[in-house]
Structure 1
Amino acid sequence: MAPQEFGRLDLSGAIGRYGVSYVRKVCAHAHIPFSENSPDEDIFALDGEIKFIEGSIRVQIKGTTQWTLNGGRSTLAFPVGEDWRKKWRMQHNPAFLIVVLLKREEIDWISYRKSE
């Protein structure tokens, strides 16, 4: 039997997975649970929940290489589609959008230090 070949995520898929993984890592570092919806189950335009003691918040996470805060900019204007707004308005509690900014070159997303 030939060894199974594995595919790679396309760039858009890799950016999306990286964004969610980044939020998961930040939550873990802060000792706060994060629960992710299964892939393609974000029918309410929500990717998961951050679970604080006081209560959970629902979040939509978008990774992007198209936006930057370089050049002295201190705010980000991120376009939100009307379909997301409609789904978020149906929520009893607020939904939050988390935008993870990535450099355009994949090699710049993570830098590993050499071990000694």
Structure 2
Amino acid sequence: MHCGPKRGRRTVGEGATHLQSIATLGPNAAKGRFGVAYVKSIFSQAAVGFNETAPDEDAIAVDGSLEFAIAAARVQIKCSSQFKISGKSATWDSELHWRNSWSTSAVPVYFVLVILDYKDPVDWIRHHDAGTDHRAAAFWVRVNGTGAPAEKILVPKVQRLTVATLELWEREVKSCFIPTIS
């Protein structure tokens, strides 16, 4: 059965030859989608909603808003296989328009870096009899309200994104509206 014209196939990774026949995303787009999905899975684990910014509408340099009861925190997500999960930190170049946008936000803006230890998409997720494991980790840093944003974002790997992280973020959002009593 033929349903339309044949189209060129895109590859998702150098070693993922068996995925080439079904791939519709290029390598960077595949990483980007994986990064957002990975972070959303942590938000879901915490039962906190996330409103993703529509593609091409990220004028304020965020991928979405994490919806706490009092107000939202803004989140920018990047995903890379150029770093290892182990180590002390990772550095990411920030763009001037990101920094300008982040500096105008009255609520916290967090930069989240999802690190894949493997370049080949086949290795990003491991399926086995006991379940499915993501072979990734996410780390974060606040990029506004802490001084002038730098051209390079230093992401300390002691700041692993977990459910406990969201409790801290929620307190930081609350502090924007409810002053702390000394």
TM-score (structure 2 length as normaliser): 0.56
**Higher RCO (CA 8 Å, separation ≥ 6 residues):** 1
Q: Quote the offset at 1:95 in angstroms.
A: 1.3
4+ residue segments displaced more than 3 Å = 4-7
Whole-Å Cα distance in 2 between the matches of residues 25 and 56 of structure 1?
18
> Are the counterparts in 2 of residues 59 and 95 from structure 1 also a CA contact under 8 Å?
yes
In 1: Cα distance, 2:128 partner to 2:43 partner:
23
Pair 1:61-2:77 in alignment: yes
Structure with greater strand percent = 2
Matched ranges for 1:19-38 at <5 A: 19-38=35-54
Match of 2:63 among 28, 44, 47: 47
Equivalent position of 1:11 in the other structure:
27
Gaps of 5+ in 2: 7-21, 131-182
Match of 2:124 in 1: 109
- Cα distance between partner residues in 1 of 2:59 and 2:78: 15
Which amino acid counterpart does residue 105 of structure 2 have in structure 1? Q
Structure 1: gaps (5+ residues): none
Two-structure CA RMSD over aligned residues (Å): 2.1
CA distance in 2, matches of 1:7, 1:69: 26
Q: CA deviation at 1:21?
A: 0.7
5 Å-filtered alignment, 1:84-95, equals 84-95=98-109
**Bigger Cα Rg:** 2
Whole-angstrom CA distance in 2 between matches of 1:104 and 1:95: 28
Work out whether residues 69 and 75 of structure 1, in 8 Å CA contact, stay in contact via their aligned partners in 2. no
